[in-house]
């Protein structure tokens, strides 16, 4: 399928997605909303892993920062949900840039282990009620609903439309990123860092920016996640969540927007179709990841021109 055909198909699917609440019951609309949220956070992981080629196994940290920032500002300080979004994005992005300083000096397994360590530290800090704001192991409950022009977005259908529109915006941003000078710099670095430096690419600057952008988008997804569930807790951002996001990108296809969304659907939608086997989803997805890495290293839906 050509790039233009893929783009047109994607636009058509997104438009059709707007009508899902008219055809599905509230339970399935909720599943679709979760797909949209995790689609955003998986795409944000793909910026770091799929495009920059850095093994980030702690991405749930940025997802959690966005969720906790929104929860704290809304519940503790009574901020409207939409007012919390810029702070969720900026704090997650700043934290991503801060962590990038030591992480981008590492390679392969060392980067993997270091990012896992940061994930463990984040969860431990949340469990210990950091600054008396995070609620400990129980987390924060009672998160309010967003309001738009004075109208509360409280029904499941309205929440889904909000999530779906934000996913659409993120997809446009990802397409623009791919065609930008920054996107090309990421591809050059992933393919050959030494050669990239000879044509003027600054590896440290580009990698730090990749972490910041990926973390910021994950923070945005964290806000939507907090509002969707009306609660946040450390258990939602453990190492297993980072592994899930990592696996979604690997299985779906690194650097491939449709591939990442396919991986997200396999992880979060398919288990709902086969509910009797939902408890085995991590086992099945683990086997799928192994098979893909052995039989199809470029992923189920690889980026055009991707090499095994």
pLDDT digits (tens, 9 = 90+) for 223-271: 999 999 999 999 999 999 999 999 999 999 999 999 999 999 988 887 7
Confidence bin at 148 (pLDDT 50/70/90): confident
The rounded mean pLDDT for the chain is: 91
Confidence bin at 278 (pLDDT 50/70/90): low
Distance, C-alpha 182 to centroid of its chain: 20
How far apart are alpha carbons 26 and 160 in whole angstroms?
A: 10
Range scoring the smallest mean pLDDT among 85-89, 111-115, 212-216: 111-115
pLDDT of residue 65: 98
pLDDT of residue 81: 96
How far apart are alpha carbons 107 and 61 in whole angstroms?
A: 20
Percent of the chain with pLDDT over 90: 69
pLDDT of residue 168: 97
Task: Using the predicted structure, report yes or no on whether residue 275 has a pLDDT greater than 80.
Answer: no
Task: Using the predicted structure, report yes or no on whether residue 307 has a pLDDT greater than 60.
Answer: no
pLDDT of residue 169: 97
Confidence bin at 211 (pLDDT 50/70/90): very high
Q: How far apart are the first and last CA of the chain?
A: 19
pTM of the complete model beyond 0.85: yes
Task: Using the predicted structure, report yes or no on whether residue 86 has a pLDDT greater than 90.
Answer: yes
Confidence bin at 66 (pLDDT 50/70/90): very high
């Amino acid at each position: 399928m050509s790039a233009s055909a893929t783009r047109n198909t994607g636009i058509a699917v997104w438009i059709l997605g707007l009508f899902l609440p008219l055809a599905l019951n509230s339970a399935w609309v909720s599943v679709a909303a979760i797909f949209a949220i995790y689609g955003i956070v998986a795409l944000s992981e793909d910026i770091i892993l799929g495009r920059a080629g850095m093994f980030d196994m702690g991405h749930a940290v940025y997802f959690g920062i966005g969720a906790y920032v929104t929860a704290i500002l809304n519940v503790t300080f009574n901020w409207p949900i939409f007012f919390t979004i810029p702070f969720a994005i900026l704090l997650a992005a700043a934290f991503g840039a801060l962590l990038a300083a030591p992480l981008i000096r590492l390679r392969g397994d060392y980067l993997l282990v270091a990012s896992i360590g940061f994930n463990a530290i984040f969860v431990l800090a949340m469990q210990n009620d950091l600054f008396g704001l995070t609620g400990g192991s129980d987390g924060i409950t009672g998160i309010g609903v967003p309001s738009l022009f004075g109208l509360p977005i409280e029904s499941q259908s309205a929440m889904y439309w909000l999530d779906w529109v934000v996913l659409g915006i993120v997809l446009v941003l990802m397409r623009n990123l791919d065609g930008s000078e920054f996107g090309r710099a990421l591809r050059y670095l992933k393919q050959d860092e030494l050669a990239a430096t000879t044509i003027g690419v600054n590896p440290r600057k580009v990698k730090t920016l990749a972490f910041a952008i990926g973390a910021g988008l994950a923070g945005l997804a964290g806000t939507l996640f907090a509002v969707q569930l009306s609660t946040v807790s450390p258990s939602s951002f453990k190492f297993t969540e980072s592994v899930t996001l990592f696996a979604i990108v690997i299985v779906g296809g690194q650097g491939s927007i449709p591939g990442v969304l396919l991986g997200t659907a396999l992880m979060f939608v398919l288990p709902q179709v086969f509910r009797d086997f939902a408890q085995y989803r991590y086992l099945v997805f683990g086997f799928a990841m192994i098979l893909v890495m052995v039989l199809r290293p470029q992923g189920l839906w690889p980026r055009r021109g991707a090499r095994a």
